[in-house]
Structure 1
Amino acid sequence: MTNQSVIFFDIDGTLLTHEKELPASTKEAIFKLKELGHEVAIATGRAPFMFEDIREELDIRTFVSYNGQYVVLNGEVIYANPLNIPALERLTEKALLNRHPVVFMDHEDMKANVPEHAYIRESIETLKINHFPTHDPNYYKGRDLYQSLLFCPEGEEKQYEQEFAEFDFVRWHPVSVDILPKGGSKAIGIEKIVERLGFPKERQYAFGDGLNDLEMLSAIENSVAMGNAEDRVKKAAKHVTKSVEDNGILHGLQMVGLL
Structure 2
Amino acid sequence: MAYKIVFFDIDGTLVNEEKEIPADTLEAVSRLKENGVEPVIATGRAPYFIKPLLNKLGIDSYVCLNGAYVVYKGKTLHKQPLAKETIQALIDLAGRHKHSLVFQGEHTYYADSENHPYITESVNTLKVEHPGFDPGFWKSNEIYQMFLHCESHEEALYEELLSRLRLIRWHPLAMDVLPPGSSKAKGIEAMLDTLGISREESVAFGDGLNDKEMLESAGLGIAMGNSHEELIPYADYVTDHVDEGGIYNGLVKAGLI
Question: TM-score normalized by structure 2?
Answer: 0.97
Residue 90 (structure 2) pairs with residue 91 (structure 1): yes
1:194 paired with 2:192, answer yes
Taking the TM superposition and a 5 Å limit, the aligned residue runs for 1:49-64 are: 49-64=48-63
Aligned to 2:34: 35
* CA-CA distance at 1:97 after TM superposition: 2.0
- Determine the C-alpha separation between the residues in 2 that align with 1:126 and 1:99: 22
Contact 1:218 1:237 in 2 (8 A): yes
Greater shift in the superposed pair: 162-171 or 50-59: 162-171
For 1:7, the equivalent position in structure 2 comes to 6
SS in 2 for 1:71: strand
How far apart, in 2, do the equivalents of 1:248 and 1:160 lie?
36
Cα distance, 1:28–1:121 mapped onto 2, change above 3 Å = same
Q: Which residue of 1 aligns with 2:150?
A: 152
| 1:231 counterpart = 2:212 | no
Measured against aligned partners, the alpha-carbon deviations of 1:47-96 in whole angstroms (never above 9, x if no partner) come to: 00011100011111110000000000111101000001112112112212
CA displacement 1:127-148 (0-9 Å, x = unmatched): 112x211110100102210000
For the residue of structure 2 that corresponds to 1:165, the secondary structure is: coil
For 2:162 and 2:242, locate their aligned partners in 1 and report how far apart those are by CA, in whole Å: 35
Q: For 1:164 and 1:235, how far apart are their aligned partners in 2?
A: 24
**What is the DSSP-based 3-state SS (H/G/I as helix, E as strand, rest coil) of the residue aligned with 1:126?**
helix
User: How many residues get paired?
Assistant: 257
Deviation per CA, 1:22-49, whole angstroms, max 9, x where unpaired? 0000011101111111111000000000
Secondary structure at 1:257 match in 2:
coil
Misfit runs of 4+, over 4 Å? none
In 2, distance between residues paired with 1:196 and 1:173?
Answer: 33
> Which residues in structure 2 correspond to 1:152-231 (within 5 Å)?
152-231=150-229
**CA offsets, 1:154-181, max 9 Å, x none?**
1212221333421000000000000000
Q: Is the 8 A contact 1:161 1:168 kept in 2?
A: no
Q: Is the 8 A contact 1:227 1:240 kept in 2?
A: yes
Cα pair 1:161 1:169 within 8 Å, conserved: no
Could you say what the CA RMSD is over the residues aligned between the two structures, in angstroms?
1.2
Shift of 1:200: 2.8
**8 A Cα contact 1:4 1:37, kept in partner:** no
The residue that corresponds to 2:138 in the other structure is 140
TM-score by length of 1: 0.96
Aligned 8 A contact 1:8 1:40 in 2: yes
Unpaired stretches in structure 1, ≥5 consecutive residues: none
Structure-2 separation of matches of 1:36 and 1:58: 15
Which residue in 2 is equivalent to 1:18?
Answer: 17
Aligned residue number for residue 108 of structure 2? 109
Partner amino acid, structure 2, of 1:24: A
Q: Is the 8 A contact 1:161 1:167 kept in 2?
A: no
Contact 2:3/2:203 (8 A) holds in 1: no
CA distance in 1, matches of 2:153, 2:195: 40
Q: Is the 8 A contact 2:63 2:184 kept in 1?
A: yes
Q: Secondary structure at the match of 1:34?
A: helix
Structure 1 residue aligned with 2:246: 248
Partner secondary structure for residue 224 of structure 1 = strand
The 8 Å contact of residues 49 and 108 in structure 1, kept in 2 or not, is answered as yes
d(CA) in 1 for partners of 2:214, 2:147: 21
Shift of residue 152, structure 1, vs aligned partner: 0.4
